[in-house]
Each structure stands twice: as C-alpha cells, then as structure tokens.
Amino acid sequence: MAEQTLQDQVSPEVRARVQDSFDRQGLMRHLGARLTHIAPGRVHITLARQPEVSQQHGYVHAGATSAIADSAGGYAAFTLFPENSTVLTVEYKINLLAPAAGDHIEAVGTVLRSGRTLTVCQLEVFSQEEEKRTLIATGQQTLICLASRPDH
C-alpha cells in the first residue's frame, strides 16, 4: 500500500466524523456499501456485486450505483465542512456509461469547489473485474453545508 502524503490525510477527528455519519446510513448498510477511502475533498465507497443489488440482467442496479455516488460526493464535501455542521444533497445528475458488470463497483466523490454554503462535486463510478477498471458512470452534484447543525 502506498503511503499517503500529508495533503491526502484527514485528521482523525474528521475521519471519525465521516465514518460515524456513514455508519448511521441505513441505505448504505442495507446495500452492503463500505467507505474505503477518506481524504480532504475525496471519498471512495465500494459495493460488491451481489444478487440483492442487481437488476434483471445481473448488473448492479442503477439505483445502487447512483446511491453510492451520491454518498461519496456528500462525504467528500463533508470532509471540508466545519465540525459543527452537516451535509445535504441539493441536486445531482448522473450519466450511466456502461453496465456495472464487475466483481464490485467503486464510487469516487471529488470536490470541485467548496463554498461557504454550496459545494460542487464530481462523481465517478468504476466497475472492477479482475485487473480491468472501467468508468461506468459520471456525474455532478451540488451540496449544502448546514452550519451549526451537528451531524447526529
């Protein structure tokens, strides 16, 4: 595993705040999604392909793909928000580029611009099948920082 640079690391407090919030999400738990990477302005969420999240052809359902993309972007923004705040999605758009056919999919949320109130994130979802990584969805999202509203 490659060492993270100091720029790629969030404080233990931010990591705990993000993980705690993620652990309270019933949908992520129901889907079996896992938070796999937390960095300032960047979060990865992984979801294994399983029958419970599939559509009629056996691919990961677009709803599950979209849900983990939304959460990845939301938590990417949340890493940059003040301690006593929470995050909500204002809107997002996702384009599905290819079927989610791999062993698992990974959503990557990346902050493009973090403002005082609104934050814009890029959303990407990749399918992983053995050594082949394929971009299967891309999108953009706007989030709002609710200041003075703890995330619990």
pLDDT at 130: 85
pLDDT at 150: 76
pLDDT at 148: 82
pLDDT in tens, 67-80: 999 999 999 999 99
pLDDT at 1: 39
- Taking the model in full, what pTM does it have? 0.92
pLDDT at 6: 47
What whole-number distance in Å separates Cα of residue 94 and Cα of residue 71? 13
Name the residue ranges covered by the structural domains of the chain: 9-147
pLDDT at 2: 44
Name the superfamily (CATH) of residues 9-147.
Hotdog Thioesterase (3.10.129.10)
Tokens of 136: 């299967």
What whole-number distance in Å separates Cα of residue 10 and Cα of residue 137? 26
Residue 45 near residue 70 (C-beta atoms within 8 A)? no
pLDDT in tens, 125-140: 999 988 899 999 999 9
Residue 118 near residue 92 (C-beta atoms within 8 A)? no
